[in-house]
Amino acid sequence: MRTTIASLSREIISEADAYLYLENMRWHGETKCPKCLSTDVHYVTPTNGVSRTTAGGSQSARRVWRCTPCRKQFSVLTGTIMHATKISVRTWVMVIFEMCASKNGVAAREIERKYGLCPRTAWHMLHRIREAMSHDDYVLFSGDVVVDEVYIGGNPEFRHANDTREVGIGRGSKKTPVVSVIDVNTHTVRSQVLESVDSKALGDAIRMNVDTATTTLHTDSFRGYLSVGRAMAGHYIVDHKAGIYATDKTNGTNLCENYFAQLKRGLKGTHIHVDPKHLHRYLNEFDYRYSTCELTDSERMADLGTRLAGKLPYAHVIA
């Protein structure tokens, strides 16, 4: 069945339902100990059969498991972005779905109003979901790869004199440069914020993501790509200044242009202002949705369920 906000609200009525839903999302019926990965685990039935009493004396619907080999107790939240959360699991599931299903992203302000959270909690929650959406860097791209850079942020000349928010990252830049590397076959994109736009920074960003021996690079005529292009199996260039956007050998950087249009629409329309120091997390989110655009919302939600491991404490986000 297709997952929608309506189907989720019908399926998840209580907090216990939300735990069950998340367990299915993360473990697909095979509960695994997050510490030793053993499947030799058993459910710990609460003493009154229904709920557990927390250290603070309140009742909790938390579903607790115990691992036989390492004797650790855990729940579906242990070792995930939701570890030690005070937000209800039902809210988490709903917000994760909203993040999976909204093409232009969801604003923290919106989540705050819809779910009755405080601003800081909503903001941190969305960043933790973005953490789950981050790249699988260990798989290198090969074959045809398109690379281009884009500049994010408003023009500082039009700022109000009292506006002291940070602008741009990197050497003397007014906007924040971002480079995106897209695998043509899989339409997987990885973007990163650059400290400067030169051969070294661009080369490093490309080498980090592709297998140079088997990759053909497609870029515009910016000189910064020439050096790294020589190390690749091939390098096709389109000269935008001469009005050439595609040749018989390459479709140029059109894939990147499409992605940048989507990224800018989301950043401008939904998030309005993104602090450059948090931009990399927003890129994770937009990269993830673009890379999984072939999936339905339900499939994307299921995929994200397998990526929940990892932590992002509030102190780490604001550091």
State the residues that interact with Zn ion by CB under 5 A: 33, 35-36, 38, 67, 70
Looking at the chain, list the stretches that DSSP marks H as alpha helix, in order from N- to C-terminal side.
Answer: 5-11, 15-27, 89-101, 108-115, 119-132, 199-207, 226-230, 254-266, 279-291, 297-305, 314-318
Q: What angle do CA 171, 196, 223 make, to 5 degrees?
A: 125
Indicate the residue among 64 and 317 with the shorter CB distance to Zn ion.
64
Shortest separation between residue 73's beta carbon and Zn ion, angstroms: 10
Instruction: Name the packing angle between helices 119-132 and 89-101 (round to 10°).
Output: 60
Shortest separation between residue 77's beta carbon and Zn ion, angstroms: 16
Shortest separation between residue 44's beta carbon and Zn ion, angstroms: 14
Indicate the residue among 35 and 280 with the shorter CB distance to Zn ion.
35
Shortest separation between residue 23's beta carbon and Zn ion, angstroms: 16
Indicate the residue among 40 and 275 with the shorter CB distance to Zn ion.
40
Shortest separation between residue 85's beta carbon and Zn ion, angstroms: 22
Contact 89, 18 (CB under 8 A): yes
Residue 99 DSSP class = H
Shortest separation between residue 40's beta carbon and Zn ion, angstroms: 8
Closest CA to 289 of 274, 280, 278, 301: 301
Q: What angle do CA 132, 133, 139 make, to 5 degrees?
A: 105
Indicate the residue among 36 and 64 with the shorter CB distance to Zn ion.
36
- CB proximity list for 299: less than 8 A, separation 6 or greater: 292
Indicate the residue among 74 and 97 with the shorter CB distance to Zn ion.
74
Indicate the residue among 64 and 233 with the shorter CB distance to Zn ion.
64
**3-class secondary-structure state, position 128:** helix
Q: Provide the residue type at 221 as one letter.
A: S
Closest CA to 197 of 217, 168, 166: 168
Indicate the residue among 73 and 185 with the shorter CB distance to Zn ion.
73
Distance CA 155, CA 66 (A): 55
Shortest separation between residue 33's beta carbon and Zn ion, angstroms: 3
